[in-house]
Amino acid sequence: MTIENIIQKSSDISSSITPFMATKIKEILKKENKDDTIDVYSKENVKIFDIIVNSRRELCIACVSLDQIFSFNYIEVLKSILKNNIKIKILLCDPHSDMLNHIKYLSVFPNIHESLTSCLSKLCNMKIVSLSTKELSNIEIRIYKTILPHNIIIRDRDIHGSGLILVEPYLFGINSQNRKIYQIYKRKNQEIFDLHFKSFLKLWETSPEYSCEWEEL
């Protein structure tokens, strides 16, 4: 078959596709495109600061310690977010948990107790010294007593357009700087987004509130 015949045959096939079939093909191709995939980044390439300061309604965080996931002054950032009437839920490891030593090795976090104690102290100081009554009502801190398999940040879980999750799974023997972060958009992959939020919510509901009493720090 000559090139001219191939071109002619392709043209004949294209002209024989009905508008209905063309629409169906576009729908199939749309389902197969990259919009519904999960983005994977090295930690240095994720703009965590930009993501959290652009929260519009709610910010949920679950991790061992905020010092492990934030390289900036997170206290000042949280204060700024609270001034915009945004709700914040923070879920941290219990500093007195029997699991702490196991978590230290799993997450490769040798100074875990010192970091966690310092983080809770800074959060309590912020609550006691810096926040208004309204801002205090918009922030909750709870502590979990189990082993969390990842760090997770959930932004605007009930807003379809801006809903976003960052997940950093723990890999045994791999420190935080060398782990990957998975970025999940609610508008692109709602099923996986909702599954991760459901898991966060279950842990949140079974975890006690942290009491900011200085003698506990």
**Residue type at 126?**
M
> At which residue do the structure tokens 């107790």 appear?
113
Mean pLDDT over 42-57 rounds to 93
Mapped onto helix, strand or coil, the DSSP state of residue 131 is coil
For residue 216, pLDDT beyond 90: no
Q: pLDDT tens digits for 200-212?
A: 999 999 999 998 8
Domain-by-domain residue ranges, the chain? 39-216
Residue 213: the pLDDT is 72
Q: pLDDT tens digits for 125-169?
A: 999 999 999 999 999 999 999 989 999 999 999 998 889 999 999
For residue 87, pLDDT beyond 80: yes
Q: pLDDT tens digits for 93-135?
A: 999 998 888 888 888 888 999 999 999 999 999 999 999 999 9
Residue 191: the pLDDT is 93
Domain 39-216: give its CATH superfamily: Endonuclease Chain A (3.30.870.10)
**Residue type at 186?**
K
**Residue type at 210?**
Y
Q: pLDDT tens digits for 68-82?
A: 899 899 999 999 999
For residue 26, pLDDT beyond 90: no
Residue 176: the pLDDT is 85
Cβ distance 47 to 184 under 8 Å?
Answer: no
Which of 70, 161, 144, 137 is closest to 103 using CA atoms? 144
Cα 165 to the chain's mean position, in Å? 3
Is the whole model's pTM more than 0.75, yes or no?
Answer: yes
